[in-house]
């Protein structure tokens, strides 16, 4: 509630929905999602520039080996419903992560799911 409310205050509802899940809809609430950062580049924590850091590049190259996918990859906002978040990892298991990666890196596409729907108000 606090995180989403912060973004609504900063950006308004429409933009907040691009960068933050509404309360009750966040993958973080499943226990399967993590936001990662790097103490060497704190200015890029939770920012798109994390993907350009050494840590971000390592995550992109190796997440699947450990069973994770970058849940909101670049260029997939129309499918995932969220802007690119190179720091947001979702655990799906090693076999599934490899399958998602081989299918282009978008979980919905790999699973044959439709694009993320708008929230029902």
Footprint of Zn ion on this chain (CB under 5 A)?
35, 88
The distance of closest approach from Cβ of residue 84 to Zn ion in the complex, given in angstroms and rounded to an integer, is 12
Q: Which residue is nearest to Zn ion (CB)?
A: 88
Residue number, 17 or 88, with CB nearest to Zn ion: 88
The distance of closest approach from Cβ of residue 16 to Zn ion in the complex, given in angstroms and rounded to an integer, is 14
Residue number, 30 or 114, with CB nearest to Zn ion: 30
Active site residues: 85
Distances (CA, A) of 78 to 28, 72, 86: 21, 10, 16
The distance of closest approach from Cβ of residue 37 to Zn ion in the complex, given in angstroms and rounded to an integer, is 11
Distances (CA, A) of 60 to 21, 64, 66: 22, 8, 11
Residue that has been written with the tokens 């691009």 in this structure: 18
């Amino acid at each position: 509630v606090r995180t989403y409310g912060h973004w609504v205050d900063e950006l308004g509802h429409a933009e907040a929905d691009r960068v933050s899940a509404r309360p009750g809809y966040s993958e973080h609430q499943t226990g399967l999602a993590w936001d990662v950062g790097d103490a060497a580049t704190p200015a890029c924590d939770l920012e798109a520039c994390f993907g350009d850091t050494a840590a971000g590049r390592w995550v992109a190259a190796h997440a699947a080996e450990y069973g994770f996918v970058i849940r909101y990859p670049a260029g997939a906002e129309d499918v995932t419903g969220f802007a690119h978040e190179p720091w947001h990892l979702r655990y799906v298991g090693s076999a599934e992560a490899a399958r998602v990666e081989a299918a282009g890196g978008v979980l919905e596409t790999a699973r044959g799911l439709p694009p993320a729907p708008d929230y029902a108000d």
